[in-house]
Amino acid sequence: MQAIVTSNLTKKYGELAAVDNLNLSVAKGELFSLLGVNGAGKTTTIKMLSCLIAPTSGDAVILGDSITARPQAVKKKINISPQETAVAENLSVRENLELIAGLYGQNAAAAKAGAGRMAEQFGFNDILKKKAKKLSGGMQRRLSIALALITSPEILFLDEPTLGLDVLARRELWHLIKGLKGKVTIILTTHYLEEAEALSDHVGVMAKGKLSAVGTPVELMAQTGTAKLEDAFIVLNGGLL
Amino acid sequence: MKILLFSKRNIKEILRDPLNLAFGLGFPLAMLAILTIVNKNIPADAGKPVFAIENLAPGLAMFGTVFMSLFAGMLIAKDRSLAYLSRLFVSPLTSKDFLIGYSVPLFVIAAAQGMITLFASLICGLAFTAWLFLAVVVTAFVSVLFIALGLLCGSVLSDKAVGGFCGALFTNLAGWLSGVFIPLELIGGGFKAVCGVLPFYHGVEAIKDVLSGDLIGMLPHLGIVLAYAAVIYIVAVFAFRKKMRAG
């Protein structure tokens, strides 16, 4: 079953097409990475799919609901961890988790239980009372993803989730993301190609707002005659190896 | 339920910032103490006291509400810059939920601040009457002007620019053009006429009138403040919704 199907999804800013007639399918439960250089249209695509911005033309159907016709229905099924950490700084870890759960309609008891579950899964038990602004960058990122997961989304958008993290924190997050595979459909954007190679079921390469290639990491490497996804990405973008 | 949760979060974000407490609450109280001391040290033969508590208390109650623009503006601008607002825009919250959730907490904080300033004025010689309680309510309504300004600034400016506009520009405008720091009668002329067109002076007069029990006299002053507030609020709603659509 397809979780996301886009048809000629387009976003224009004046004459500039940030996303240009994107046609994409993502199967339920898979981790799909959107790759591309800066300005390729990855974040704009995620913003449209998460109903943050309206497309100029075209549409996307998320688990049966159109992002243009039924955005409120779509919003109940998805969540996002934006590029920035996006936490409420003066709220504790527990308060952050319970707030987001409540905003998605969970009652106080369910929100509390959800916060406990997230604390267990993400290792927050010792820092539940700590204010978010006092957390390390790595822990803020973890909290950001936990905030997206506490609402039990069917589709999770991770926009450069490991940006600015040290290698240990990044590998910890990889471990967490791998644990979600199969349970949640994940759309990931990243500039770290080894991350995409390690985590993705399928990869879409975007250039100038268009989808220039799509396949499994192995398929893309075979298509370009390369041994690493990073090299395949460079070839697909017309760069020099 | 969602609005209540979001409102509670906003109150916590504002009140857990020690700078907000220092400026929003401490500054009007410090001004009250300083100007009361200044007033007591003006020689009796200088005539009518410049900072009589009957004028100073409503003036500082109005002046305190200017910080609501700083609180609202900083909160929204920070939510934008940290992408917290993006996270919330993806949630099922509607634009109505956002606007109520940002505005109501500030109305409540303004009422609390007005109450503290006016009741602290009792120590400085303000006579206690039952009108004091209604003055707190009127102060909260005057704050809607500054809440609207904060919503507007937070929607269109960066958090640094909000600090400049709401923290410096509006506090000075509200302080100097309302007669809080310099009684307008002492200057008169064109300056007084300009102050009469702007809402700040009317905010002070509305609170002053209600403190003296002159409800009929209070209504036109409060009406002018609320008219300004309504226009700015409509522009702020438009700007905020535009930001929402822009993601």
pLDDT of residue B141: 97
Q: Residues of A numbered 112-131 whose beta carbons fall under 8 angstroms of chain B's beta carbons: which are they?
A: 131
What are the tens digits of pLDDT across the range A134-161? 999 889 988 999 999 999 999 999 998 8
More confident residue, A23 or A239: A23
**Mean pLDDT of chain A, nearest integer:** 93
Half-sphere exposure at residue B66, Cβ-oriented, CA atoms within 13 angstroms: 29
For residue A177, give both structure tokens.
Answer: 């993301």
Residue B209, helix vs strand vs coil:
helix
Contacts of A135 in chain B (CB under 8 A): none
- Bridge partners (DSSP) of residue A207 are A210
* Helices of type H across chain B: 2-15, 18-20, 27-40, 53-65, 67-81, 84-90, 95-123, 131-156, 159-162, 170-176, 184-187, 189-197, 199-211, 215-246
Q: 3-state DSSP call for residue A209? A: coil
The radius of gyration of chain B's CA atoms, rounded to the nearest angstrom, is: 18
The answer to whether the CB atoms of A52 and B247 lie below 8 A apart is yes
A99–B9 C-beta distance less than 8 A: yes
pLDDT at B168: 86
Q: Specify the pLDDT at position B45.
A: 64
Q: What is the ipTM of this complex?
A: 0.87
Whether B114 contacts B61, CB under 8 Å: yes
Q: Quick check: B91 and A104 CB within 8 A?
A: yes
Does residue A165 surpass a pLDDT of 90? Answer: no
**Cβ contact (<8 Å) for B90 and A50?**
yes
What pLDDT score does A23 carry? 96
Tokens of A204: 């879409």
Residue A35 CA neighbour count, 13 Å, CB half: 30
- Measured in angstroms, the CA of B56 and the nearest CA of chain A are apart by 34
Q: How far is B103 from chain A (nearest CA, A)?
A: 17
pLDDT by residue (tens digit) across B97-118? 999 999 999 999 999 999 999 9
Confidence (pLDDT) at A193: 92
Whether residue A164 has pLDDT greater than 80 = no
For the entire predicted model, the pTM comes to 0.88
Which band of pLDDT confidence, cut at 50, 70 and 90, is reported for residue B46? Answer: low
pLDDT level of residue B247 (50, 70, 90 thresholds): low
pLDDT at A239 over 80: no
- Residues A226, A196: contact at Cβ < 8 Å? no
3-state secondary structure of A225: coil
Closest CA to B73 of B153, B188, B148: B153
Q: Is B16 on the interface with A (CB under 8 A)?
A: yes
For every residue of B6-56, DSSP letters joined together read HHHHHHHHHHT-HHHIIIIIIHHHHHHHHHHHHHHTS-GGG-S-TT-HHHH
User: What gap in Å lies between CA A79 and CA B93, rounded to an integer?
Assistant: 13
Contact B12 A91 (CB under 8 A): yes
| Residue indicated by tokens 């949760």 | B5
Whether the per-residue pLDDT at A8 is higher than 70: the answer is yes
Mean pLDDT of chain B: 91
> What confidence category does residue A35 fall into, taking pLDDT thresholds of 50, 70 and 90?
very high
Q: Which two tokens stand for residue A209?
A: 């707002």
Q: Hey, which residues does A205 pair with through a beta bridge?
A: A35, A213
The answer to whether B100 faces chain A, any CB pair under 8 Å, is: no
Longest dimension (CA), chain B: 66
Tens-digit pLDDT profile for residues A37-85: 988 999 999 999 999 999 999 999 999 999 999 999 999 999 999 888 8
A82 and chain B: CB distance < 8 Å anywhere? yes
Phi, psi torsion values for A6, nearest 5 degrees:
-105, 145
The residue with tokens 């927050």 is A124
Distance of CA A208 to the CA centre of its chain: 20
Rounded distance between C-alpha atoms, residue A227 and residue A80, angstroms: 32
Containing H/E element for A199? helix A193-199
Instruction: Please state the rounded mean pLDDT for residues B134-145.
Output: 97
Q: What local confidence, expressed as pLDDT, does residue B38 receive?
A: 85
Rg of the Cα atoms in chain A: 18
Query: Is B92 in Cβ contact with A75 (below 8 Å)?
Result: yes
**Is residue B42 within 8 Å of residue B50, measured between CB atoms?**
yes
| Owner of token pair 């936490």 | A87
| Type of residue numbered B209 | D
Q: Looking at residue B165, what is its pLDDT? A: 84
CB atoms B87 and A86 under 8 Å: yes
Lowest mean pLDDT among A2-16, B4-18, B21-35: B21-35
Inspect the interface and report whether the beta carbons of B91 and A103 lie closer than 8 Å.
Answer: yes
Phi-psi map region of A28: left, alpha, beta (phi>0 left; psi -120 to 50 alpha): beta
Which of A103, A135, A147, A158 should we substitute to test contact with B (largest number of B Cβ atoms within 10 Å)?
Answer: A103
- pLDDT value of position B44: 65
Helix (H) or strand (E) holding A218: helix A217-224
Return the pLDDT at B19: 84
Closest CA to A139 of A101, A179, A168: A168
CA–CA separation, B185 and B173 (whole Å): 17
| Chain B residues touching residue A110 (CB < 8 angstroms) | none
What is the rounded distance in angstroms from the CA atom of residue B12 to the CA atom of residue B23? Answer: 16
